[in-house]
């Protein structure tokens, strides 16, 4: 910002909202991660990967598709799937239609783990986020988040998630 346009600082209401919201963003991810790590030995990202697979047809997705749904880079996903494969939660096999592509599929063990883990995770989300809000506030939060998403993700890559689907998924 070289051309120093006298900054519009935050007024008290804006500042109050931003500071609180920033504090939530600081604390909530760690809290969710801690619960999953404790109860299932999974990072939040690990769990999310499994959850996305659990929602997919055949419990299978191409790596690229999975990366988009989880908002991850391909290298990151590759490493994580390596780890999950080592634990027998996921298996990889070449995609029949495209020789370049790889499919990731949830194993039975992986599915079982998601099914075991989802209830506790939902309970945590409820406890930390939703239960403190009124019905009205839940609706307000949805609209506010939508407004932010319009700025953060104009292309709507993450919108895939915001549709109806299968059972455990939950995230």
Partner DNA sequence: ACCCAAAAGTTGTTCCTTCAACCAATGTCC
Partner DNA sequence: GGACATTGGTTGAAGGAACAACTTTTGGGT
Q: Identify which of residues 15 and 76 has a Cβ nearer to DNA in the complex.
A: 76
Which of 24, 101, 148, 150 binds DNA (CB under 7 A)? It is 101
Closest by CA position to 84, among listed 38, 35, 33, 43: 43
Residue with tokens 């697979």: 53
Determine the interface stretch with DNA among 5-13, 90-98, 135-143, 154-162 (rule: CB under 7 A).
90-98
- Shortest CB 50 distance to DNA, Å: 14
- Shortest CB 137 distance to DNA, Å: 29
Task: State yes or no: residue 139 binds a second copy (CB under 8 A).
Answer: yes
Question: Among a second copy, DNA, none, what does residue 81 contact (CB within 5–8 Å per kind)?
Answer: DNA
Backbone angles phi, psi at 95, to 5 degrees: -75, 125
The C-alpha atoms of residue 121 and residue 114 are separated, in whole angstroms, by 10
Contacts (Cβ under 8 Å, ≥6 apart) of 104: 53, 60, 61, 62, 63, 66, 81, 90, 91, 92
Enumerate binding residues for a second copy (CB under 8 A): 1, 4, 7-10, 12-14, 16-29, 31, 39, 71, 118-120, 122-123, 125-133, 135, 137-153, 158, 161-162, 164, 170-171
Return residues touching DNA (CB under 7 A).
Answer: 30, 43, 45, 62-64, 67, 72-83, 92, 95, 98-103
């Amino acid at each position: 910002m070289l051309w120093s346009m006298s900054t519009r600082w935050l007024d008290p209401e804006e500042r109050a909202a931003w500071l609180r919201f920033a504090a939530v963003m600081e604390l909530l991810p760690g809290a969710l991660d801690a619960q999953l790590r404790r109860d299932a030995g999974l990072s939040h990202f690990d769990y999310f990967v499994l959850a996305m697979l659990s929602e997919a047809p055949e419990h299978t997705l191409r790596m690229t598709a999975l990366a988009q749904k989880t908002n991850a880079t391909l290298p990151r996903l590759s490493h994580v799937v390596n780890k999950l494969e080592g634990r027998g939660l996921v298996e990889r096999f070449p995609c029949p239609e495209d020789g370049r592509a790889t499919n990731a599929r949830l194993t039975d063990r992986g599915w079982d783990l998601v099914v075991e883990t989802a209830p506790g995770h939902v309970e945590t989300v409820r406890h930390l986020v939703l239960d403190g809000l009124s019905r009205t506030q839940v609706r307000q939060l949805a609209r506010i988040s939508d407004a932010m998403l319009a700025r953060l993700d104009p292309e709507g890559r993450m919108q895939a998630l915001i549709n109806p689907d299968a059972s455990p998924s939950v995230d």
